[in-house]
Structure 1
Amino acid sequence: MTTFGRDVYDDVIVGGGHNGLVAAAYLARAGRSVLVLERLGNTGGAAISSRPFVGVDARLSRYSYLVSLLPSKIVRDLDLRFAVRRRTISSYTPTERGGRPGGLLVGGGEQRTRESFARLTGSEREYESWRAFYGTTGRVAEKVFPTLTEPLPTRAELRARIDDEAAWRMLFEEPLGQAVERNFADDLVRGVVLTDGLIGTFADAHDPSLAQNRCFLYHVIGGGTGDWDVPVGGMGALTDALAAAATKAGAEIATGHEVLRIDTDGVAPAEVVFRTATGEGRVVGRTVLVNASPQALAELLGEEPDRAAPAPEGAQFKVNMLLSRLPRLRDASVDPREAFGGTFHIAEGYEELRRAHAEAAAGELPSVPPSEIYCHSLTDPSILGPELVERGCQTLTLFGLHTPARLFGHDNQQAREVLLTATLAQLDAHLAEPITDCLAFDADDRPCIEAKTPLDLERELRLPGGHIFHRDLSWPYADPATDAAGRWGVATAHPNVLLCGAGAVRGGGVSGVPGHNAAMAVLGH
């Protein structure tokens, strides 16, 4: 049994992912005694860097990989040594029309983007629609993003703050597909817009639940601009900085401590029971902050999960690769360093996305799997060892859509292999050489590629159903609440137990927002 610095802590934090570390740093800086208990042998959760390939000095952001929702306020408040780098290209989407390869390049300056739209569609009308549409989302982002680290506004308050009825209706009331179809005519452009509503979210463009709208909203408001940036040094650089900030402020962090149970009556200090390699132990916290899913919280409290809520289900396919070189493209007009420098969309036309969703909803793996790729090392080569940089090696991270966990339940390994083959085939259709010819090899002479299904993420990270947001994303507003935890969106049924993970209101993604908000609730702000 582990011996800690004290028997009773002001705050015990269950889970050392990035949100738990944010909460720990804020609370410790406020002079409170804080203990973080983490099941794994390292902090960071899904926001880590690791070397997945034997004998290869490449530190990949293995699970989460880009930063948009992390408020600069948190970086400043906690004095974090952490930076992000802007990508010069936003996206490249290859296609073939009239038997000739081409594509849509967004970025590299307004004129290049305008010309790319004109080549694709034959006129500038689609580009003007693009500018107008993202002008609207940009204005909404400026209004909404600052509220994420403030007490929750009501629906009416947020609507008044946005002060644009057309934008409110487009994003908050009608299915996203209506806005996409109303504003854009080209199938490929429509698909590129829609993808931001489908990251980790299994929904159709016209889903009446508006899950796709909530996902889209969080993807276009980050930083008040919607930009998705590359974490310098990899995602692990963020969580390492957070752990250092928490420790410097006086928080204790204990890895290899799996929490088994939380005993509380909601009033008296709670008892947290944990397990280590040497046995079980207990510690008391006046407040317990849980950086885990609502489903995991219910299990720790010995309660039944909310049966009224749908069971969480992830819907993404993650592939990490290390290449000996970037592949050549069939579209010779585009430099591969630019094409892969932003987000490289594959099989993400509007109709392709609709078909993939329909097939998955019917219980079949998508026959034409949609996915998108980005290359961290083009923007930030620091994640590669000097020898790999000298050889011209590059990383590729692929994120597949419309692959819900239910498709892998019968035989996860076989389904993973089938989906990987089909996904790489869709990429190869736009390359002048097979992607497998470009893979680097590890010290055991195996190709540097790994694939993870939702079930793999559930097993490795305890994400319920492999859901990267712990559950479907929430709207960033709520009914008026009377206590601090409710006002900050982190309340549970127990006053001294708060939710500080991605499943909190305004959770999801690498943001630190739930950790910040839980700390503010504890401090009575």
Structure 2
Amino acid sequence: MTTPQTFDAIIVGGGHNGLVAAAYLGKAGKKVLLLERLDAVGGAAVSAQAFEGVEAWLSRYSYLVSLLPARIIEDLGLDITLVRRRYSSYTPDPADPTRGLLVDNDDARATEASFVRLGAPADEFELFELFYEHCRRLTKVLWPTMTEPLPTRSEAKRMVTDAGGASEWTAMIETPIGDVIRHLHTDLVRGVLLTDALIGTFARADDTDLQQNICFLYHLIGGGTGDWDVPVGGMGAVSAELARAARDAGAELTTNAEVTAIDPAGTVRYSVDGAEVEASATWILANVAPATLDKLVNAGSTVSYGREQLAAGEPSAGVFEAQPFGTVAETNRNHTREGAQVKVNLLLTRLPRLLDESVSPEAAFVGTFHINETFTQLDDAYLAAAEGDIPNPLPCEIYCHSLADPTILAPELREAGAQTLTVFGLHVPSRLVTAENNDEMRSKLQAAVLASLNSVLAEPIEDVLMTDAAGRPCVETKTTFDIERDVGMPKGNIFHGGLDWPFLEDDAPARIPAERWGVATAHPRIVLCGSGARRGGAVSGLGGHNAAMAVLESE
């Protein structure tokens, strides 16, 4: 083993949050080492040439941007272009897929006419618009707090109430969303609202733990408006800019470096090219899921800290020989929640024709295309999955990156009219997929996704699939098991675990910077800087920003 190098901070995991933290700490003059086990940084925020011999760079896992604050882009000098989508969503009517609901961000009258074609009651469009207007009363107040120390629940409620949002607080924060959206008349419209509460989250509309409400809030809070934008160049362009900013700030980024153990005293062991290496730092920033951090700490812990020292925020005080007194995951039950989706990437020779001839495929696919996602279908799908079955039909959400950003396709593909599709199948909890049945389940889930899509098309999607250099259809399916194996997300959870409210409970400790910024762990010298941090999840950089702020505030 080589002589340990010493750093101010070691970042374990090179996903986008780790890169954000590295850039901030480097700009502050800190000596930073970032370790990534894969051969490139970016984690789940990467673009990949998924099909042999086909020059199409797909955002393989994550795909849209809403929660990345302008402050982070400006602070780090990032050259990132985000494209706003004209159409928010299109939802065919499962009972009659020759009609559907098209929500046009630029034309309220066209959206209202779509409600009429759907056969919705006269006031449904007004109720739909009013619902989101009320949501914005809350999200516009809470959004600026995302890059500040956490408010308490009471403080957050007071801010929202002072802005005239008392009823909105009750509806979004204290009442199951299923109860809130039942005032809408149409099963399909209620489903459109509910889907944002369920992406990556295995929950029902009426669950009393309100995990679905937290997920819904994060889908609507971005920028205060909830707009989801397309990153030009794909998600890999975002991570590439973050890596550039980190390197320019002086951070050392090491790939193919698999961390094998973390000692809470400040030492990290990792392997590079078969050699065991050890490094130490004042701070360790964990850009891995809390459950993964626990395994690494258990593998490397020789000392632990007393709870009194943790409360006092003294990383060097009161060490004693003992087993770790508790795991990071134990401090928050959300950290152990399972993922609940299947991700499918497709490359098409052209967009397929729709059964609904009143809507162009370009309009339907550029936004979020909801398939078999009425309120009732979503609940039925949950119940089927809870019983161990693949939902039939499988609720799916689709969008076409290449319509908004054709740069991810080679010129010849663009000229030929090729398009990408990204699909998220909902209510596929990780309990359904194991190492033993993964290949079989991947095949079944892919078939379920294609069948769901075909139910609203005028031609089978298989007829417009491109083939790769070996003549294979250009379809790539990622199960929860695949996601855990490939990018290290336990149980395939795209949020590293369940999401948390973006505020502290009134009785939660807030004595040290790590607690105030929502990045504390059971170990004083280790902070979370990934999606497992409070206010983590999605491609936001918030976990990295807030961890860096906690470290800098501690000195």
Contact 2:286-2:526 within 8 A present in 1 as well: yes
Q: 2:29 aligns with which of 6, 31, 36?
A: 31
Q: 1:328 aligns with which of 345, 353, 361?
A: 353
Q: Does residue 407 in structure 1 map to residue 432 in structure 2?
A: yes
Q: Does residue 276 in structure 1 map to residue 272 in structure 2?
A: yes
Contact 1:2-1:281 within 8 A present in 2 as well: yes
Per-residue deviation, 1:139: 1.6
Aligned 1:415-494 pairs, distance under 5 A: 415-478=441-504, 479=508, 481-494=510-523
SS in structure 2 of the partner of residue 523 of structure 1: helix
Per-residue deviation, 1:116: 0.6
Per-residue deviation, 1:277: 2.0
Contact 1:121-1:186 within 8 A present in 2 as well: no
Q: What amino acid is aligned across from residue 522 of structure 2 in structure 1?
A: A
Residue in 2 that maps onto 1:259: 259
The Cα offsets for residues 431-454 of structure 1, whole Å up to 9 and x where unpaired, read as 111001111111111110011111
The Cα offsets for residues 248-301 of structure 1, whole Å up to 9 and x where unpaired, read as 111110000011111133xxxx11100122221101111110100111111111
Q: Does residue 290 in structure 1 map to residue 286 in structure 2?
A: yes
Contact 1:114-1:124 within 8 A present in 2 as well: no
- Provide the C-alpha distance between the structure 1 equivalents of 2:225 and 2:177, rounded to a whole number of angstroms: 19
Contact 1:365-1:403 within 8 A present in 2 as well: yes
- Provide the C-alpha distance between the structure 2 equivalents of 1:102 and 1:119, rounded to a whole number of angstroms: 7
Q: Does residue 356 in structure 1 map to residue 354 in structure 2?
A: no
- Provide the C-alpha distance between the structure 2 equivalents of 1:503 and 1:264, rounded to a whole number of angstroms: 18
Aligned 1:116-515 pairs, distance under 5 A: 116-163=114-161, 164-182=165-183, 184-265=184-265, 270-302=266-298, 303=324, 305=327, 306-307=329-330, 309=333, 311-409=336-434, 411-478=437-504, 479=508, 481-515=510-544
- Provide the C-alpha distance between the structure 1 equivalents of 2:8 and 2:534, rounded to a whole number of angstroms: 24
Paired-residue identity, %: 53
Per-residue deviation, 1:480: 5.0
Residue in 2 that maps onto 1:522: 551
Per-residue deviation, 1:96: 4.9
- Provide the C-alpha distance between the structure 1 equivalents of 2:269 and 2:445, rounded to a whole number of angstroms: 40
Q: What amino acid is aligned across from residue 101 of structure 2 in structure 1?
A: L
Per-residue deviation, 1:121: 2.8
SS in structure 2 of the partner of residue 87 of structure 1: coil
Residue in 2 that maps onto 1:59: 57
SS in structure 2 of the partner of residue 406 of structure 1: helix
- Provide the C-alpha distance between the structure 2 equivalents of 1:259 and 1:506, rounded to a whole number of angstroms: 25
Q: TM-score, normalised by structure 2?
A: 0.91
Per-residue deviation, 1:307: 4.9
Specify every segment of 5 or more residues in structure 1 that has no aligned partner in the other structure, as ranges: none
SS in structure 1 of the partner of residue 92 of structure 2: strand
The Cα offsets for residues 120-164 of structure 1, whole Å up to 9 and x where unpaired, read as 134430100011100011121111111110000000000011112
- Provide the C-alpha distance between the structure 2 equivalents of 1:191 and 1:121, rounded to a whole number of angstroms: 16
Alpha carbons of 1:122 and 1:224: their partners in 2 closer, same or farther (altered >3 Å)? closer
Alpha carbons of 1:127 and 1:288: their partners in 2 closer, same or farther (altered >3 Å)? same
Q: What amino acid is aligned across from residue 70 of structure 1 in structure 2?
A: L
- Provide the C-alpha distance between the structure 2 equivalents of 1:24 and 1:501, rounded to a whole number of angstroms: 12
Alpha carbons of 1:96 and 1:46: their partners in 2 closer, same or farther (altered >3 Å)? closer
The Cα offsets for residues 156-207 of structure 1, whole Å up to 9 and x where unpaired, read as 000011112211111111111000112x110000001000000000000001
Contact 1:257-1:275 within 8 A present in 2 as well: yes
Alpha carbons of 1:260 and 1:519: their partners in 2 closer, same or farther (altered >3 Å)? same
Contact 1:154-1:480 within 8 A present in 2 as well: no
Residue in 2 that maps onto 1:44: 42
Contact 1:66-1:228 within 8 A present in 2 as well: yes
Contact 2:121-2:185 within 8 A present in 1 as well: no
- Provide the C-alpha distance between the structure 2 equivalents of 1:76 and 1:125, rounded to a whole number of angstroms: 42
Residue in 2 that maps onto 1:104: 101
Q: What amino acid is aligned across from residue 489 of structure 2 in structure 1?
A: L
Contact 2:25-2:548 within 8 A present in 1 as well: yes
- Provide the C-alpha distance between the structure 2 equivalents of 1:461 and 1:100, rounded to a whole number of angstroms: 37
SS in structure 2 of the partner of residue 432 of structure 1: coil
The Cα offsets for residues 199-242 of structure 1, whole Å up to 9 and x where unpaired, read as 00000000111010000000011111100000010000010000
- Provide the C-alpha distance between the structure 2 equivalents of 1:225 and 1:336, rounded to a whole number of angstroms: 26
RMSD of Structure 2 on Structure 1 (CA): 1.5
Per-residue deviation, 1:2: 8.0
Specify every segment of 5 or more residues in structure 2 that has no aligned partner in the other structure, as ranges: 299-323
Q: Does residue 83 in structure 1 map to residue 76 in structure 2?
A: no
Q: What amino acid is aligned across from residue 321 of structure 1 in structure 2?
A: L
Alpha carbons of 1:241 and 1:2: their partners in 2 closer, same or farther (altered >3 Å)? farther
Q: TM-score, normalised by structure 1?
A: 0.96
- Provide the C-alpha distance between the structure 1 equivalents of 2:371 and 2:45, rounded to a whole number of angstroms: 25
Per-residue deviation, 1:420: 1.6
Q: What amino acid is aligned across from residue 145 of structure 1 in structure 2?
A: W
